[in-house]
Amino acid sequence: MLKLESVSKTFSKDTPNEHKALDNLSLAVDSGEFVTVVGSNGAGKSTLFNAICGTFMVDAGAIMLDNKDITYLPDFKRARVIGRVFQDPMKGTAPNLTIEENLALAYSGGNGRMLGFALNSKAVEKFRTELEKFGMGLENRMKTKVGLLSGGQRQAVTLLMCTIVPPRLLLLDEHTAALDPAMSDKIMEITKDIVKSNNLTTIMITHNLNFAMRTGTRTIMMDSGKIILDISGEERDKMSLSELLELYSQRSDKVFDNDRMLLTKRTEI
């Protein structure tokens, strides 16, 4: 379970560029829950993820993961239990290492000294089996350097690296945004399968409002560093895109301004 209590973060404090990125934000995510996050540019979505990962220390509030206070835990220690996939397919992997070497590095917990152990025949067979589930032929390219893969193939490898040892929390930071529509759909299918099979507690930022409303179990909308909408269950299932945007306007007192999200073709997930 993840719990944020009254978390605040202000950048460039006491300067003309002061910006309150998180404003007394509280959020509780139950174990096994899959939450999607939407909001216009500058709403605080990525700042929320950075606070959870320890990219910076928050100004106020507390962050708990599985009843352990991680508010001041260094980012490298949080990385041992939090998996994160970024929008940029170039992040999260070592391009000059092969697929199996990247997976072995993740499997060994990032400990290079144990890389040889993680590349034993049993482990490699496990990597091959997991890759085969993706239906992308990557199990036949284990010796290929990751830098030679396409963006979608690389995201698939990154997803497996983040979950080959199931994390306590998986964060997906617009991880399909840089992909073409067909590959985006494919990576979302893989994502859903991984999350379901491992019962992972997951939070996903997405630029696609339809993905957000039809993926996972719950959707939250952010604006100005706050959560202004939190829907799940039957309410979410029955809510149309126009109704969602109307609620946004009512609660934020402004029109949703992210054209990329509004113009994205509807895709059933």
How far is C-alpha 178 from the chain's CA centre? 14
**What is the pTM (predicted TM-score) of this model?**
0.90
pLDDT tens digits for 100-138? Answer: 999 998 988 755 555 555 678 888 999 999 999 999 999
What is the band of 210 on the pLDDT scale with cuts at 50, 70, 90?
confident
CATH code for residues 2-96+145-263: 3.40.50.300
Percent of the chain with pLDDT over 90: 72
What per-residue confidence (pLDDT) applies to 258?
52
pLDDT tens digits for 34-75? Answer: 999 999 888 999 999 999 999 999 999 999 999 999 999 999
